[in-house]
Chains A and B, each alone.
Chain A
Amino acid sequence: MEKQTITIGLPRALLYYRYYALWRTFFQELGMEVAVSGPTDRDILERGTALAIDEACLSLKIYLGHVAALVGRCDYILVPRVSNFGRHRSMCTRFESTPDLVRSVFRNSGQEFLSYEVDEEQKKDEAAAFLELGRALGRSPKDVRRAYKLAKKAQAAHYKARVQKYEQQYRRSGLKVLIAAHSYVIEDPYMGRPVTDYLKRVGVIPLRADMVDRDGALKHSRELSSTCKWEISREILGGIAMHRGDVDGVILLSAFPCGPDAMVNELIARRVKGVPMLNLVLDSQSGTAGVETRLESFIDIIRFQEGKL
């Protein structure tokens, strides 16, 4: 008897923006379907806010809203635990706690969740985690290894293409602003997208500190901090170190209240001098007026300096 196709739900938030090519390819190569929640909108934010404790960051509130949107629509929802990739390569504790947190919040929903654990300080690497994940879904080790290999390839190719696209942008003429933000903040249609949309509308080229060669970024991050332990923050620091000379301004874009950003953005503000910088903290206001005032004046200041206003 043939088994029905298994559907894996992927919440379109947090690590989705980092890993979607990997996840999608892996599950599809194993003959499964993936269901992705829709783009963030006010409904998702409100549902997530109601499910989260008040102190949770905006990104986590949005994540819970996306999980809620998938509940009942798939066999499993993927909620990984990604702790670290080794020493000084930690993820925010959010990514350590999400599986437990999600299981607890949705304990009465009847929904099943799927997880894998990356904790290289405890000798659990991603390849081993995916092998375990595939086997738990009833696939043979051989199939799982093959699917993981293809998924890694797809992920690398996808990321490389994106980095190349951004590298080309640096060669364009025009005002360029480097945005330092987590991918799940800047790519989210409700949080960061209005910022990049606004910049494009006023003729500014938005660039991304995290869209650089990751190995290079980790090395260059030491120019700004030799002790920063957060992987994504180090990629951002490295991206700034690599590109600060190529841009007219830097925007530190953060979702309230982000722990790593609270510290790292302060560090950036103190150590990166000689380039105009705007610190923009997003919260769940429905209007964009405050954000637009700050962006508009920031761009004016840059144009002032260049004598173009």
Chain B
Amino acid sequence: MEHAYLGVDVGSISTKGVIIDKKNNVLASQYIWTQGDPIGAVKELVRLLEGQFDKDRYQIVATGTTGSARKLVGVILGATMVKNEITAHAVGTTTFYPDVRTILEIGGQDSKIILVENGVAVDYAMNTLCAAGTGAFLSSQAKRLGIEVEEIGDYALRSTHPTPIAARCTVFAESDLVHKIQMGHPREDIIAGVCNAVAANYLNNVGKGKKIVSPVVFQGGVSKNKGVVAAFERALGCPVIVDPNGHLMGALGVAILARRGSGRQNFDFAVENMEFRTREAGCGGCSNNCEIICVYRGSELIDAWGNRCERGARTH
């Protein structure tokens, strides 16, 4: 049997998974919506990956998880590597683009910039805990404008006069947008304006003070939006590379990290049929009242976290 490695990236909006061989060739990949249910999404993801995967030829020997639900999903999948998204994206991107100097990443809730020199990440920045200008903002504005989030790019590219929209803060951007709609600006111009606002917001916040050097690779769910890609190219004055697998870079990166790591655990596709649930248990051991998350497989507690001290440790 040849060895294979599973990487899963569970973000707030989408869940991504890849299986690679030891030369980083993609054997299976999938991208689905998280829809507020990371456990359900990852079970569905595993089921879909199983369908593309040659189980007679390969055995998954290590699993990595990343994204905001990395810990929860790591427990469920028996991960040998649990890594933050920045590291995963940096590793994934530099593996496929060794020359890259700047990685722009906009996800559903987070946005980040990673600066690379000689294939090594040297500096990065992440949005503060405010989610302004991320995918969540685009989704809610698409809903307001009555279009699908996937259609935003095509609308934006049809515009010849993008409407200026205040980009400092999502709350201001939204009220500005409503005002412009009521003033009678054409829909495609407003949508193009929203895309420009996302790019401007990103460059003024996350990208502030960072020297953006070409080649620039743009990834994360928002990189699928052609309107935002065009806005970045205009603002930066250089081409912006969007890899067809760009949305999978986090999952690829963490699969590579799992391969490089020392942990080994054969992966069993049976998890797709297991019952997992979580429960929040207030600790009550002291006035901190830590919010402890307990994860159960069937009725068995398999992990718990969120406690600041030993008093909140849960074992059953």
How far apart sit A289 and B124, CA to CA, in the bound complex (Å)? 18
Contact A276 B87 (CB under 8 A): no
How many Å lie between the Cα of A269 and that of B125 in the bound state? 12
B128 within 8 Å of A (CB atoms):
yes
Q: Does B183 touch A at the CB level, under 8 Å?
A: no
Q: Tell me whether A300 and B209 are in contact (CB under 8 A).
A: no
> Which chain B residues numbered 166 to 183 have a C-beta less than 8 Å away from chain A?
none
Residues of chain A from 283 to 309 with CB closer than 8 A to chain B in the complex? 283, 285-287, 289-290, 293-294, 296-297, 300-301, 304-305, 309
Known interface pairs A269-B209, A304-B120. Does A297 touch B84 (Cβ–Cβ under 8 Å)? Answer: yes
Residues of chain B contacted by A309 (CB below 8 angstroms): 87
* Neighbouring B residues of A297 by C-beta, 8 Å: 84-87, 124, 126
Cβ-defined partner of B121 (8 Å) among A42, A283, A285, A301: A301
Q: Is the interface of A mostly helix, strand, loop or mixed?
A: helix
Neighbour of B128 across the interface among A281, A289, A293, CB < 8 A: A281
Contact status A194-B90, CB under 8 Å: no
Contact A304 B209 (CB under 8 A): no
Inter-chain contacts of B68 with A (CB < 8 A) = 289, 293
Inter-chain CA distance A270–B120, complex, in Å, is 22
Within 8 A of A (CB), among B42-68: 68
CB-CB contacts below 8 Å: A266-283 with B: 269-270, 276-277, 279, 281, 283
Contact of B291 with A301 in the complex, beta carbons under 8 Å: no
Contacts of A44 in B (CB 8 A): 287
Instruction: Give which listed residue, A42, A269, A296, A304, contacts B287 with CB less than 8 A.
Output: A42
User: Closest CB of chain B to A269's CB: distance in Å?
Assistant: 7
What residues of chain B lie closer than 8 Å to A296, measured between beta carbons? 83-84, 87
Contact A194 B308 (CB under 8 A): yes
Q: Which A residue sits closest to B122, measured CB to CB?
A: A305
* Shortest distance between the CB of A238 and any CB in chain B (Å): 23
Chain A residues, CB < 8 A from B290: 286
Closest A residue to B308 by beta carbon equals A194
- A246: CB under 8 A from chain B? no
Tell me, in angstroms, the Cα distance from A269 to B123 when the chains sit together.
12
Q: CB distance A304 to B288 under 8 Å?
A: no
Q: Which residue of B lies closest to A281 (CB)?
A: B128
Beyond A270-B209, A285-B129, A300-B87, is A305–B291 a contact (Cβ under 8 Å)?
A: no
Which residues of B come within 8 Å of A, CB atoms? 68, 83-87, 90, 120-126, 128-129, 209, 286-291, 306, 308
16 interchain pairs, CB-CB under 8 A: A41-B286, A43-B287, A44-B287, A277-B123, A281-B128, A283-B129, A293-B86, A294-B126, A296-B84, A296-B87, A300-B86, A301-B122, A301-B124, A304-B90, A304-B120, A305-B122
